[in-house]
Structure 1
């Protein structure tokens, strides 16, 4: 396992994204109710993660050789998605200036992504403070599509 990013991202509009840094992917803006319930949106060269807070949130991105084992009972929400990349990944908030975004080298081609959400029920009443955390596990895989492994049904 290699840590690609471990820090805070401003999740303006309740989202941040991973994108192929060389692909110049356009962010989709036509979200469905299913997208919001799944908490990720996969598009060509981009993966959008929707957050519980419209604030700065802690994000960790890890690269694995194969699908990692995680403690499902410790997670609030777990979903699989995918991301196509040419080998350089940008990690950014929705309104960040992409050329200044964090970069990481990854294998080119399709990556499977497991997004693990924790602390979703630990938000302040005004939704500005919280213990929500977002861990993204990536590995090379031909699999595509979105699969929710654990659904968060609480208020967020």
Structure 2
């Protein structure tokens, strides 16, 4: 397993993953359902929704097979598929400068991505101040493994501390 950790500015409440060299346009992928699910997907790119519009801690793990289900450790978990032609994915905030973005080696071909968000209650409570300390920062674990293309799915949905659905 390979892993990379980075802190990224989640401008517009999103973190982007794309095949290196992708020209995929995620703007049309942000349907009402994608916003609720916190995942917008096109052929070779995806955007993962965040609770906050500030810096989030992002960990990327490259696996050989699907990970074990550890949903209890996370607040919101989604999966989607994308095509990787270059052997690298770009991991960045949506307004970051792409040439300077983190690149992570991954298998060529279709991959499955599981995005698991945690610490959402504390991050949402503090809002723009949530990124001032590691214990209050929203955390996003991204796991990538080779797998045939499948439709996006929400494995665990964050409904907020109030128990009400949190739609942006």
Cα gap change, 1:152 to 1:106, in 2 (>3 Å): same
Q: CA deviation at 1:126?
A: 5.1
Give the aligned partner of residue 38 of structure 1. 37
Q: 2:156 aligns with which of 144, 150, 155?
A: 150
> 1:115-154 residue pairs with structure 2 within 5 A?
115-123=115-123, 125=125, 127-128=127-128, 129=130, 130-154=136-160
1:21 maps to 2:20:
yes
Give the aligned partner of residue 111 of structure 2. 111
Cα gap change, 1:118 to 1:22, in 2 (>3 Å): same
Cα gap change, 1:31 to 1:126, in 2 (>3 Å): same
The separation in 2 between residues aligned to 1:152 and 1:92, in whole angstroms, is 23
Q: CA deviation at 1:74?
A: 1.5
User: How large is the Cα RMSD of the aligned pairs?
Assistant: 1.6
The alignment partner of 1:123 has SS state of helix
Aligned residues: 155
Cα gap change, 1:22 to 1:53, in 2 (>3 Å): same
Q: Which has the higher helix share?
A: 2
Q: CA deviation at 1:57?
A: 0.6
Give the aligned partner of residue 53 of structure 1. 52
Give the aligned partner of residue 77 of structure 2. 78
Q: CA deviation at 1:75?
A: 1.0
**When the two structures are superposed, what TM-score results if normalisation uses the length of structure 2?**
0.85
Q: CA deviation at 1:123?
A: 2.4
Give the aligned partner of residue 5 of structure 2. 6
Q: CA deviation at 1:29?
A: 4.2
The separation in 2 between residues aligned to 1:14 and 1:23, in whole angstroms, is 21
> 1:77-96 residue pairs with structure 2 within 5 A?
77-86=76-85, 87-96=87-96
